[in-house]
Amino acid sequence: MRRRSARSLELPRRRTVSRIPAASRPSGAGGDARDRRRSNVTAVQPLQLLSPEGGASVEPPEGLDPERLLSLYRNMVRLRVFDRRALNLQRQGRINFYAPASGQEAAMIGSAAALEPQDVAYPTYRESGVCLQRGMSLRTMADQLFGNARDLVKGRQMPNHWSSREHNIVSISSCIATQIPQAAGTGMAQRFRGENAATICYFGDGATSEGDFHAGLNFAGVFRANTVFFCQNNQWAITVPVTRQTAAPSIAIKASAYGFEGIRIDGNDLLVVYKTVREALEKARSGGGPTLIEALTYRMGPHSTSDDPRRYRTEQEVETWRRRDPIERLQRYLEARGWIDAEQVERIAAEAKEEVDRAISEAEAVGPPEPETLFEDVYARPTPQLERERRELLDLIRRGVVSRVTHTPIRGS
């Protein structure tokens, strides 16, 4: 397998918009020679507002005042701390699985911050930051990792598979790209009902190789769905580089074939993520149809706790992206604008650690769901057979014939 060099992964520093209108080819220079041989259109530069150095020259977009920016920065730090702690929990055998999000905080927090309460989110198993920004508490997220009795889905889902009716977060599926047609349908329903609402659908670069990607985007284009498709192009679909996912110079360009706009952005730039997603959502709510946003970012850790990224990518490549850390980038911007100082940075980090430690400790102390919950939420009205089986199980437990239902930790390699 050919590896992509660190040089070819570097984000261009242009600050111009990279929009690909429906049924048109992109303009602009970029991409490596291999890309240009594969296609007769050139790669497009990503839209960028905040320089990698985080200078103070850029004004924040509408909707992001200093107080809001500090709130988003705080959530990015909370997410990073939670992420590292959860990864360690799995390595210690205390939870079964985890898919880390480190390196992609700006794409998650920035996009979710642009949502309105009535909007619907279809995340993947890596969008922990979307759940956090939508208002899900760290305690609720920790409960789900342990699958304890407080878990909203009663321990029936894999870790990282959050959902919340309260926050309009649809249950996450492990199957790649299956949420894309569902999100297209939700956006179509919102349009048909005349709702002032939109749907955002998250997926990775690997999902664009699935048939559901084509089916969902084609459907959304035909029916002008109120859907924003947000691709976190983190360069790797487990072990497969993005250059093996598509011969096109970008993922955003694919929107042209479906009759709507595609936009390529710097996914580590919180300002441009927020601005682009907000505009796309406003367009969707007003009947302007769907948008495909490709956010260039990088997965700093493993694909999941079942993965060892050292086997397929170089440390040089990782270091190139580490220098573009989205949290440090936003922090430098806030410091340059005089909106945060070293004391606040330390306090936010300390508060995040304390909150995460407390959430984990409380979640781990809660026992598993009671055995009878196995029979709940199966039918609106339990059948006589289900009631008999429930009574039988409880009787067997009472008489000591079978042990109580417990969780068996699966230690990662």
Indicate which residues carry an active-site annotation: 299, 303, 312
Checking DSSP bridges between strand 19-20 and strand 261-266, what pairing results, if any?
antiparallel
Identify the CA nearest to 242 among candidates 31, 30, 45, 17.
Answer: 31
Give the total residue count for the chain: 413
Beta bridge mates, 293: 230, 263
Long-range contacts of 373-382 (CB under 8 A, 24+ apart): 373/154, 374/405, 376/154, 377/154
Q: Comparing C-alpha atoms, which of 291, 273, 252, 265 is closest to residue 26?
A: 252
CA neighbor of 253 nearest in space, from 5, 14, 30, 43: 43
- Alpha helices, DSSP H, located in 53-104: 66-91
Residue 255 contacts residue 292 (beta carbons within 8 Å) = yes
Contacts of 245 (CB under 8 A, 6+ apart): 205, 206, 208, 209, 237
Q: How far does CA 194 lie from the centroid of its chain?
A: 28
Per-residue tokens: 361: 């400790």
Q: What is the spatial distance between Cα 110 and Cα 267, in angstroms, rounded to a whole number?
A: 9
